[in-house]
Amino acid sequence: METIRFGLIGLGLMGREFASAAARWTHLPDLEVRPEIVALCSRNLNSLEWFRNTCPAVKQVTRDYREMLANPEVDAIYCAVPHDQHRRMYCETVEAGKHLFGEKPFGIDMKTNREINRVIEKHPDVLVRCSSQFPFTPAAQYLCAMIEEGRLGEIIEVEAGFLHSSDLNPEKPINWKRSIATNGEYGCMGDLGMHVCHIPFRAGWVPLDVRAILSNIIPTRPDSQGKQVPCETWDNATLLCRTRDDVTGSTFPMTLKMQRIAPGESNTWYLTVLGTRSSVRISTRNINVVHVLEYDGRKQNWETIDIGHAPAFKSITGAIFEFGFSDAILQMWGAYLYELQQGKPLSRFAGCVTPAEVAASHRLFTAALQSQKDATTVGIPPQQD
């Protein structure tokens, strides 16, 4: 069993998810590599006791990430911090020769994402991947297998989205995710967009242009003292993209929705693909189910398939049991560690988001901002310049 020694920067919501996944690594019995968290860094150390209890191998605790990057006992970094911190931390991590698993959007805007990518290009020995866990649900893996096997035929239309209702309450106090300075001008696209784009981009569905409608539904929120302050970020985004299928060369409409104010939706990530031979739809609202319609020239019946626990990386959990959010996080980490050890992903769709895919998301979101501003359809450049 190979051990990769991790430093964790950011001890918030996502930092805890990784620490918990690392603590139950025995769930993935076939992997011959495991993470060990040996160093912790956060501006605020409020949750330190929980991390110390969860990560018994920790030897270094610091408020200064540069001290962690200078630590020769650290092989890899997971960085889960606000978006305005991504550029300097990601660039310096890669320059220090540490492998990096970073959180989206990988830079607060396209300019900083380009800077990060330039540093990555100069360090090809370092594995850099971006977090996006939902494609590791067994239902999503089933849908991906249908794409891989060419079972869909020509794509007619795609709709993908990630819907929250976490901001429906106007009294919810403002935090860094609702300020342009710390979250970025993309607003909800920077937060939710990579999750929505991961499978479409991996499938080779390339958005050529976009007409975006962005909404700032709640323009002020209380601060920690209860005073109303501007809440400037986009709450909801709907992107209609003319999209090319790289496999067949045909184009089709693809609608991508990222919403923080979607009444009735707690944390719904979904994908529907309509094809001339088969159609398929999945949603985390019913996480263990795949709906498939295979058109045989006669009947058009939607079949409901109960997938159970059939993830990409074998788990000790019995095949009949339900899969959940933290299982998807564990699988995503399995995929990163597997690729780090083996030099390639287990399969095309069991691999984490690459820097090139993140760059494609920045081109899309930047074009979407322009589309909203001008109320027009905006072309999306095929490459980062």
**Which CB, 39 or 41, lies closer to ligand NAD?**
41
Pair of tokens at residue 293: 């319609």
Distance between CA atoms of residues 200 and 291, nearest Å: 18
**Which CB, 60 or 251, lies closer to ligand NAD?**
60
CB of 295 to ligand NAD, least distance (A): 35
**Which CB, 41 or 292, lies closer to ligand NAD?**
41
- The residue whose Cβ lies closest to ligand NAD is 12
CB of 159 to ligand NAD, least distance (A): 20
**Which CB, 24 or 373, lies closer to ligand NAD?**
24
In one-letter notation, the amino acid at residue 165 is: S
Distance between CA atoms of residues 357 and 375, nearest Å: 26
The phi, psi pair for 336, rounded to 5°, reads -65, -50
Omega of the bond leading into 82 within 30 degrees of 0 (cis): no
Query: Which residues make Cβ contacts (< 8 Å) with residue 300, sequence separation at least 6?
Result: 293
The answer to whether the CB of 18 falls within 8 A of the CB of 8 is yes
The phi, psi pair for 151, rounded to 5°, reads -80, -10
CB of 110 to ligand NAD, least distance (A): 16
Residue 6: name the closest of 66, 74, 59 by CA. 74
CB of 245 to ligand NAD, least distance (A): 27
**Which CB, 63 or 122, lies closer to ligand NAD?**
63
CB of 62 to ligand NAD, least distance (A): 9
CB of 191 to ligand NAD, least distance (A): 5
Q: How many CA atoms lie within 13 A of 131 on its CB side?
A: 23
The phi, psi pair for 253, rounded to 5°, reads -80, 135
**Which CB, 14 or 119, lies closer to ligand NAD?**
14
> Which letter does DSSP use for residue 83 in this model?
G
**Which CB, 181 or 305, lies closer to ligand NAD?**
181
Distance between CA atoms of residues 78 and 55, nearest Å: 14
Which residues are at the interface with ligand NAD (CB under 6 A)? 9-15, 41-44, 65, 80-83, 85, 103-104, 131, 133, 191
CB of 276 to ligand NAD, least distance (A): 33
